[in-house]
Amino acid sequence: METTGRLPALIEDAPELWPHLEIVWRMFRLVSSSRSTTFDGLWYIHISEIVAVLDLFGIQDIDTRLYYAKLLQYADGVYLKHWHETHSTKK
């Protein structure tokens, strides 16, 4: 594959994340690899994995943990919806 030195258009035009969302993106990418799969495709990220990543990032305050857990669960839901819409074998 030839390297052009330019980012793909989708990445090049992507907005910058706010600082408090960059950590969510990092956490999501980390726990996303631990998601379950089924015969129908991908499954949600288990709460135990979210708790583990919050511990890994040293987030101890309960309100902050709940905030990030909700953001991760929301991001997971959006990702799963998109994945199932684009990979559905049922037409």
Whether residue 2 has pLDDT greater than 70: no
**Sequence ranges of the domains in the chain:** 17-85
The C-alpha angle with vertex 28 and arms to 59 and 85, in degrees rounded to 5, equals 150
How much is the pLDDT for 40? 73
CA distances in angstroms from 56 to 15, 21, 44, listed in the order given:
27, 17, 20
How much is the pLDDT for 13? 72
Section 9-28 average pLDDT:
81
How much is the pLDDT for 1? 44
pLDDT interval class at 45 (50, 70, 90)? very high
How much is the pLDDT for 7? 65
Identify any residues that bridge with 38 across adjacent strands, giving them in sequence order.
Answer: 41
CA distance 71 to 14: 20
The C-alpha angle with vertex 34 and arms to 17 and 46, in degrees rounded to 5, equals 90
Backbone angles phi, psi at 27, to 5 degrees: -65, -45
Question: What tens digit of pLDDT does each residue of 21-32 get?
Answer: 889 999 999 999
Instruction: State the average pLDDT for the chain.
Output: 86
